[in-house]
Amino acid sequence: MNGKVKGSGVWTSIVKLFNKLKTEGPLSSNVLRVKVGNGNSIRFWKDNWKGDGSLASKFNRLMYLDTDPDCLLSWRLTNGNWACQWARDIGPRNSVQLSSLIDHLGPVERRDVMDSWEWSLATDCKFNISITRKFIDDASLPSEIIDTIWVKEVPRKVNIFLWRVAWDRLPTRLNG
């Protein structure tokens, strides 16, 4: 879920909002990650399968030297060994980054189950709207708590107006 998203619809809106929250808000790229199974649906360079961002974000030069930057994890991990296919010689400049990549990868165990996605905000690693909403609210809303007291004797629009005044949410030129 990187880059620009084009189109319209519910999922396009969700991806756009997720990307905006990653760049401008409280969600980092570590929130949504892949749990390695057989590696047949994980892009080696571009998916967050190590839990700390994509390999492309850390080892961008090596990704562009790969013959297939969109390769799958299962193509690069065979019999417990890493096997990359380079378009040209790595050279001394990139050999340090290659050593760092190999150290970073460490041992990875593929299993005979499908790859799955994890949502790190929840304890069970499954996406949960209420937990995510609470996380975003806690990170982005003001920390001082103002009790909202609704007075039944006054019209609703007066209560709403007073709430907007308290939170500085009046639609004025300065707040627009």
pLDDT tens string, the chain, 176 residues long: the values are 445 556 677 777 777 776 776 666 666 666 777 788 888 888 889 888 886 778 888 898 899 999 999 999 888 887 777 888 888 888 888 888 888 888 888 887 778 888 887 777 778 877 777 887 787 777 766 666 566 677 788 888 888 888 888 777 888 877 66
The tally of domains found in the chain comes to: 2
**φ, ψ for residue 43, nearest 5 deg:** -80, 120
Q: Of 51, 19, 71, which Cα lies nearest the Cα of 118? A: 51
Tell me the pTM. 0.57
Residue 152: domain span: 143-176
138: how many CB neighbours lie within 10 A of its CB? 10
Residue 4 lies in a domain: no
Do 97 and 34 have their domain in common? yes
